[in-house]
Chains A and B, each alone.
Chain A
Amino acid sequence: MRYLPLTADDRAEMLRTIGAKSVDDFYGDVPKSARLKGPVPGLLNFQGELEVERHMTRLSKKNRAASDGPFFVGCGAYKHHIPASVDHIIQRSEFLTTYTPYQPEIAQGTLQTMFEFQTQVAALTGMDVANASMYDGSTACAEAAVMACRVTKRTTVVMSGGLHPHYADTTRTLCEAAGIKVIQLAPAVDGELELSKHVSDDIACVIGQTPNVFGTLTDLTPVGDAAHAKGALLVTVFTEVVSLGLVKTPGEMGADIAVGEGQSIGVPLGFGGPYVGLFTCKSKYMRQMPGRLCGETVDADGKRGFVLTLSTREQHIRRDKATSNICTNSGLCMLAFTAHMTLLGDKGLTHLATLNHEAACDLADALSAVKGVKVLTSRYFNEIAFETTKPADQVLAALEKQDVIGGVRASRLFPGAGMDNVIVAAATECCTQSDIKAYAKALAEVLK
């Protein structure tokens, strides 16, 4: 076994040192009825690297990769180019194979990176403070709802009709368990401002998304004003962090808590995970945040250094009184985000965001020129919703036959919501002009 360094002689010698006859001695407390005669039955035995790699490669080839051809799927995960150096950096042994930085004297690499990440995320969102990541955008959203209830001591939250339905579902799961009532507005392409109408004295927070799951951009400032007037919080959500290179920030809109998905910067699509949840808030709510935080301090020589801090919020100290049960977060994806963001800088991010917006404008123009297509999104960043004359599942299946992966049908997001002919499609810097042309051409044929 290539991963097990002990030899038979080592094992025998170690047993002698211990004074045990065999390893069976160590398992003496296992109930007799649960003891197995040999390895677990019904499973394969060990295999060499070649055999395992062959098997995994065979499975991987049954999947159609985003880079294999025209690809326009978004809805919470986006195909972006990742500089080669990012993957090199995250594969450094010292980052890849270390633990949560509990021993700061030998973890300054991870801790300084966390501090850089928190600073970058705060600057991007225009918020005061950011934590060191959550599992993904949806769990960040759920934790934001619960935190808003903690802050306001109220127990009802309202979610917009443009909030990613998986985020809404994840939030509902956590809220229901915690005894929090959830009000969900009906799906709407451009309905985020409806939130203002549902604010009252017993609402803890309103949760709006921009760009929303249909791609629509909304200035949530009036929603925040309405919420604040009733003592409620504004929670804003984004699933496309690259948009922050161009669009109004949560901070500028008066968000109290802003959360989102950071996958677009540094993290591959990876069939849905691991991703990196971003969690930010106003300073005054800092001690109510979930998750790890890195803070600046000095060492015994007075030299600047970084440590995990405010851990009295966390489960390992506060146990059942903790702000969340989260322990492991998304450390390595956080590093990927920070490394990619450092390569971009403000200049690169603005440029990248501009290219994304232009690609979406080109896609909207190309598709709206097809007979039977109506683009529904009027203000957007890199994603649009459009309606055709045919059911979206048939349209997408027909496009797939021409090797165009055309987007997500709204009926998959919101079954039974009467949006059967609506498709949500994203265009990033990875979409070429010929990809967009291929899409329009294939769609024209499908709708003929």
Chain B
Amino acid sequence: MTMNSTGRPTSISAADGAGTSVTVSGSKGLLQAEGLIFEIGSTDKTGVDLPRPKGTKSRLGGVTRSAPSGLPGLTEPEAVRHYVRLSQKNYAIDLGLFPLGSCTMKHNPRLNEKVARLPGFADVHPMQPQSTVQGALEVIEELAGWLMTLTNMPAVAMSPKAGAHGELAGMLAIRAALIAKGQGHRKRVLAPESSHGTNPATAAQCGFTVDEIPAAADGRVDMDALKAKLVDSSDVAGIMLTNPNTCGLFERDIKEIADLIHAAGGYFYCDGANFNAIVGRVRPGDLGVDAMHINLHKTFSTPHGGGGPGSGPTVLSEALAPYAPVPFILKTSEGLRFVEHHSEAPDSFGRMCAFHGQMGMFTRALAYILSHGADGLKQVAEDAVLNANYILARLKPLMSPAFAGYCMHEALFSDAFLKDTGIETIDIAKGLIDEGYHPMTMYFPLVVHGAMLIEPTETESKAELDRFCDALASIARRATQKDGSLKTAPHLAPAKRLDETRAARSPRLKWTPETTTLKAAE
């Protein structure tokens, strides 16, 4: 064994390294084992120091808690360590490419985090006098202006709190417009089979029934099937269509679709989840759209935060604008103010949330938009589409593209190349984890068998794309060689494959002492 000048060995012999896969602590090097706060905390502990109460006589009127919550606390060093340790069990865009199709996992600029935390934005109350929040109202107005110009649409509802909430805003506006025209009996909403699950769920929430349109062989809306569904269109409320669609393709007949729907007396809802492919290059208002939500947490980079918060402003056409939800901003001679009540906006379909929407996302998205400008946003779309096509071109020889031709911002593969290998889409996905990547979206859209949907976004360098393609190509090769180790991947992640069936069969949704027993039995 070689030694350095202080006598320490500079290499480890094979014998020294053996047997370290099981450790006494349960930790593995930098990956620290960490229990639940209910196991490591204590009701005697707290991480906050507060002034001593005066002992005022209670005015709770006897409406008091009979027993304490029993929730444990931790001091600050323990709490920080607890969450930092947990954080290290997560993959994140800051660690590497996050090719989750339809989710637009792009870099989250840190300037946006900084401006969102300015006290004038973070520490203002939604119900304080409007004269004291004119700057906040200006942010909303300025962002609304950008969104309307980028989409060439005359109005935008800013309060929806996520994409699905934006869909709800659009569909409720359509419902209100139909009722106003005496067409409330129109209840049928067309939606492609390939649509996001939120589309049919939203339509159902608004009392509509969903009529699915099949996809054509080229992955677009089957125009003949669509026309057949419009032969008797007296009950058609509209269509919900994603563009670019969930197969990563631009609906080339989109204007004809819009015209057909309008001629049938319905409205065109466009799911804007994939706006990143066309932002700054194509304006949905030029395509005949009546309503479209914009995921600020996708196209405009506000962080996904492990599942939100999102923000889903919804642009509206002239026909739908009168039905927009409250609150909205009005310009007056004394400045900006909110219209908050139905009484002031009788055509509005009503309110969707407690306050004015996701202000914390507005400040971040506006900083992002101002940083890029019109020219930068066009470049965003083009680089996102270029990156996806590069992945498609590089992997085409080894995997099976779902459709011929170029894609937009995401590359879609089917599992045809896995035929007779015994390897499935999920194994490819889990294999990527061992290579240090988050998997692509799998088994969506439903119209492609064993779908693998890869969206790189524009914030990846060519070197990163090459590294990713090399990794995925190697997995594809292993799969075609029937490498059975893929069936049990991941092998190198913080956890092995988890038993989801067991979780659903007898749900344990909170900690109980048995939870700890389960851990002890490991």
For A248, give the chain B residue with the smallest CB separation: B63
Residues in B with CB closer than 8 Å to A378 are: 59, 61
Q: Looking at the assembled complex, report how far the CB atom of B336 sits from the nearest CB atom of chain A, in whole angstroms.
A: 11
**Do B305 and A96 touch (CB < 8 A)?**
yes
For A39, give the chain B residue with the smallest CB separation: B374
**Do A10 and B462 touch (CB < 8 A)?**
yes
**Do B46 and A247 touch (CB < 8 A)?**
no
- Point out the residue from B58, B309, B387 that lies within 8 Å of A328, measured CB to CB: B309
Complex Cα spacing A358 to B58, Å: 8
**Do B92 and A94 touch (CB < 8 A)?**
yes
| Max count, chain A CB within 10 A of own CB: residue among B69, B119, B392, B459 | B69
B417 at the interface (CB under 8 A from A): no
- Point out the residue from B59, B209, B508 that lies within 8 Å of A357, measured CB to CB: B59
Complex Cα spacing A107 to B511, Å: 19
A103 at the interface (CB under 8 A from B): yes
Complex Cα spacing A352 to B50, Å: 7
> In the complex, given contacts A3-B371, A136-B354, what are 13 additional A-B residue pairs having Cβ atoms less than 8 angstroms apart?
A73-B127, A77-B126, A100-B304, A100-B307, A122-B509, A136-B353, A170-B352, A173-B352, A272-B354, A295-B508, A304-B515, A310-B507, A342-B37
B217 at the interface (CB under 8 A from A): no
**Do B204 and A320 touch (CB < 8 A)?**
yes
B229 at the interface (CB under 8 A from A): no
Q: Would you give the 0/1 interface string for A103-117, flagging 1 where the beta carbon is closer than 8 Å to chain B? A: 111111110110110
For A275, give the chain B residue with the smallest CB separation: B354
Complex Cα spacing A342 to B35, Å: 13
Residues in B with CB closer than 8 Å to A352 are: 48, 50
**Do A137 and B354 touch (CB < 8 A)?**
yes
Tally B residues with Cβ within 8 Å of A.
211
B451 at the interface (CB under 8 A from A): no
Complex Cα spacing A1 to B379, Å: 9
- Point out the residue from A89, A273, A315, A335 that lies within 8 Å of B360, measured CB to CB: A273
| Max count, chain A CB within 10 A of own CB: residue among B48, B210, B341, B357 | B48
B331 at the interface (CB under 8 A from A): no
**Do A95 and B71 touch (CB < 8 A)?**
no
Complex Cα spacing A119 to B72, Å: 11
Residues in A with CB closer than 8 Å to B370 are: 44, 47, 51-52, 55-56
Contact A60 to B373, CB < 8 A, known contacts A4-B458, A13-B462, A65-B124: no
Q: Looking at the assembled complex, report how far the CB atom of B34 sits from the nearest CB atom of chain A, in whole angstroms.
A: 8
Residues in B with CB closer than 8 Å to A202 are: none
B108 at the interface (CB under 8 A from A): yes
For A364, give the chain B residue with the smallest CB separation: B59
Interface 9-mer from A14-22, A225-233, A366-374, A435-443: A14-22
Residues in B with CB closer than 8 Å to A44 are: 370, 373-374
Q: Looking at the assembled complex, report how far the CB atom of A275 sits from the nearest CB atom of chain B, in whole angstroms.
A: 7
**Do A64 and B133 touch (CB < 8 A)?**
yes
* A-B CB contacts (within 8 Å), total count: 730
**Do A346 and B73 touch (CB < 8 A)?**
yes
Contact A97 to B165, CB < 8 A, known contacts A299-B496, A303-B495, A324-B205: no
Complex Cα spacing A269 to B62, Å: 30
**Do A77 and B127 touch (CB < 8 A)?**
yes
B182 at the interface (CB under 8 A from A): no
A205 at the interface (CB under 8 A from B): no
**Do A248 and B66 touch (CB < 8 A)?**
yes
Complex Cα spacing A26 to B109, Å: 27
Complex Cα spacing A110 to B88, Å: 10
Q: Looking at the assembled complex, report how far the CB atom of A393 sits from the nearest CB atom of chain B, in whole angstroms.
A: 9
B264 at the interface (CB under 8 A from A): no
B318 at the interface (CB under 8 A from A): no
Within 8 A of A (CB), among B203-222: 203-207, 209-210
Interface 9-mer from B4-12, B230-238, B280-288, B478-486: B280-288
**Do A14 and B386 touch (CB < 8 A)?**
yes
Q: Would you give the 0/1 interface string for B99-117, flagging 1 where the beta carbon is closer than 8 Å to chain A? A: 0100101011101011101
For B372, give the chain A residue with the smallest CB separation: A46
**Do A177 and B89 touch (CB < 8 A)?**
no
**Do A110 and B90 touch (CB < 8 A)?**
yes
B68 at the interface (CB under 8 A from A): yes
Q: Would you give the 0/1 interface string for A294-332, flagging 1 where the beta carbon is closer than 8 Å to chain B? A: 111111111111110111101111111110111111111
- Point out the residue from A53, A137, A174, A415 that lies within 8 Å of B115, measured CB to CB: A53
- Point out the residue from A67, A172, A218, A332 that lies within 8 Å of B119, measured CB to CB: A67
**Do B354 and A170 touch (CB < 8 A)?**
yes
Within 8 A of B (CB), among A325-372: 325-335, 339, 341-352, 354-355, 357-358, 360-362, 364
Residues in B with CB closer than 8 Å to A379 are: 59-63
Complex Cα spacing A201 to B348, Å: 33
Complex Cα spacing A279 to B374, Å: 41
**Do A49 and B371 touch (CB < 8 A)?**
yes
Q: Would you give the 0/1 interface string for A24-36, flagging 1 where the beta carbon is closer than 8 Å to chain B? A: 0111111101111
Within 8 A of A (CB), among B135-151: 135-136, 138-139, 142, 146, 149-150
A429 at the interface (CB under 8 A from B): yes
A400 at the interface (CB under 8 A from B): yes
Question: What are some 18 contacts across the A-B interface (CB < 8 A)?
Answer: A14-B386, A77-B126, A89-B87, A97-B105, A98-B304, A124-B69, A166-B351, A166-B353, A269-B124, A292-B307, A295-B509, A296-B518, A303-B496, A319-B197, A346-B71, A405-B125, A405-B132, A412-B340
Residues in B with CB closer than 8 Å to A307 are: 498, 500, 503
Contact A85 to B303, CB < 8 A, known contacts A10-B462, A39-B374, A64-B124: no
A147 at the interface (CB under 8 A from B): no
